Amino acid sequence: MPARWLTALLAKCRPAKPRTRFRIANLSRQAELAPRVDLADDAASRRKGLLGRETLIDGEGLWIVPCEAVHTIGMRFPIDLIYLDREKRVRKVCHSVPANRLSACLAAHSVIELAAGSIRKTGTVKGDQLEFTSLSPKESYNPEESYK
């Protein structure tokens, strides 16, 4: 078995997994919820979440799958949270969750983290049905993006 340092070095040399992005629409309200939402579906990306970000640009977000609970410990800005079941129906919404808080919904399968105010802007409420559309690499590019 290789030494841990060698395993860690090799892991850093692997090409990064291409970012998967979605456009999310609220079908119940006929409104675009967010045009650019990244997918966090592996242990590393779910663990990191939005930590280290200075801000979240309006229209951006992170969809964490699977996930029943999140924290905002160490966050530098408030976020909106939308908890979803497996059918992408809204189970719970949380508005402008400030830093150093915990939030959970045990009935949820995933959660979307959005810029504060996104939920109010679209009128999203418990029971709404959301639709996810996968974006091509060209569609998901944003030169004003706040992180790489």
In the chain, how many domains are there? 1
| DSSP β-ladder status, 60-64 and 31-40 | parallel
Q: Confirm whether 15 is domain-assigned.
A: no
User: What average pLDDT score do residues 82-109 get?
Assistant: 98
Lowest-confidence region among 15-24, 31-40, 130-139: 15-24
Q: Confirm whether 60 is domain-assigned.
A: yes
- Starting at the edge strand found earlier in the chain, the sheet holding 31-40 runs 90-97, 79-84, 110-115, 60-64, 31-40, 21-26, 130-134
Q: Confirm whether 143 is domain-assigned.
A: no
CATH number of 87's domain: 2.60.120.1140
| Stated pTM of the model | 0.82
Determine contact, residues 41/65, Cβ cutoff 8 Å: yes
Q: Confirm whether 102 is domain-assigned.
A: yes
Q: Confirm whether 32 is domain-assigned.
A: yes
Q: Is 68 exposed, middle or buried (0-12, 13-18, 19+ CB in 10 A)?
A: middle
Q: Confirm whether 144 is domain-assigned.
A: no
Distance set, CA 126 to CA 26, 48, 85, 105, 129 (Å)? 11, 27, 11, 12, 9
Q: Confirm whether 3 is domain-assigned.
A: no
**Structural domain containing residue 123:** 20-135
Q: Confirm whether 84 is domain-assigned.
A: yes
Determine contact, residues 118/34, Cβ cutoff 8 Å: yes
Q: What is the pLDDT of residues 25-82, one digit of tens each?
A: 999 999 999 999 999 999 999 999 998 899 999 999 999 999 999 999 999 999 999 9
